[in-house]
Amino acid sequence: MNRKIDIILPAITLLAILAALAGAFLLAPTEKTMGDVQRIFYFHLASAAAAFASFTCVLISSIAFILRRETVWDNIATSAAEVGVLFTTFVLITGPLWARPVWGQWWVWDPRLTTTLILWFLYTGYLVLRQTIPGYRGAMAGAVFAILAYVDVPVVYFSVSLWRGIHPQVLGGGGGLDPGMVPPLLISVIAFLLLSAVLIQERLNLANAMDRVDRIAVALEDVEQ
């Protein structure tokens, strides 16, 4: 069953990504003020959605690890954190690429941009912590750190309404999305969520394989002794 999922899910994800590209560049209307550069928006927002979903997975897995003390939950949390950092990096790259022609500069210390950068540092710090402290102590410390770090996720989401900034509130506010932009956006979000799931699964498979290798190595050492 797992092997079927490992084949079917990537195939569906590939189709979704192709649909997202077609939607962003062919289906979506051209924004009147920003022009074609606005098309970065579909991948920028979708990356943020994938990052938030990955960090939510880290949160749930960290809580599960604290409650159940099972290595698999630590592996899931670490895998999801790596994927979350990857998508947050993509957010921080596509943001300036969009901002330069629109705002006239690559970076401004807007509340959403600033809190997103903090989010990147927090989960990068989590990954460093997991590498620095091995074993159960590192897993427990990482789980606690990940739970505390997740506080920044809702802060990023609500930063536009909490503080005055120049970042537009596209969803749930006065963003004024053209109706023709909604389907391509939804397709992009779904595609990136699927991609994050595939990457987490593949990274988890690698983590589980590394654990098996470590157990075999320990067993061989015991036999030699």
pLDDT tens for the chain, 225 residues: list them.
Answer: 566 777 889 999 999 999 999 999 998 888 887 888 888 999 999 999 999 999 999 999 999 999 999 999 999 999 999 999 999 999 999 988 887 777 777 778 888 889 999 999 999 999 999 999 988 999 999 999 999 999 999 999 988 777 776 566 655 544 567 788 899 999 999 999 999 999 999 999 898 888 788 778 767 766 666
- How many C-beta neighbours within 10 Å does residue 196 have? 25
Residue 75: how many CA atoms within 13 Å on its side-chain side? 15
Residue 214 to residue 210: CA distance in whole angstroms: 6
pLDDT at 1: 52
Residue 118: how many CA atoms within 13 Å on its side-chain side? 18
Contact yes or no for 53/193 (Cβ under 8 A): yes
DSSP string for residues in 110-135:
-HHHHHHHHHHHHHHHHHHHHHHS-H
Looking at residue 181, what DSSP letter applies? Answer: G
pLDDT at 174: 47
Cα distances from 176 to residues 76, 94, 198, 207, in angstroms, run 38, 21, 32, 43
pLDDT at 171: 54
DSSP string for residues in 28-63:
SPPBTTTBGGGGHHHHHHHHHHHHHHHHHHHHHHHH
Residue 63 to residue 56: CA distance in whole angstroms: 11
As beta bridge partners, residue 35 has 31
Buried residues in 13-37 as b, exposed as e (16+ CB within 10 A) = beebbebbbebbeeebeeeeeeeee
On whether the 2-29+37-170+177-224 domain is CATH 3.40.50, my answer is no
Residue 182: its H or E element: helix 182-224
Instruction: Tell me the pTM.
Output: 0.88
pLDDT at 140: 96
Contact yes or no for 13/193 (Cβ under 8 A): no
Cα distances from 128 to residues 77, 131, 143, in angstroms, run 13, 5, 13
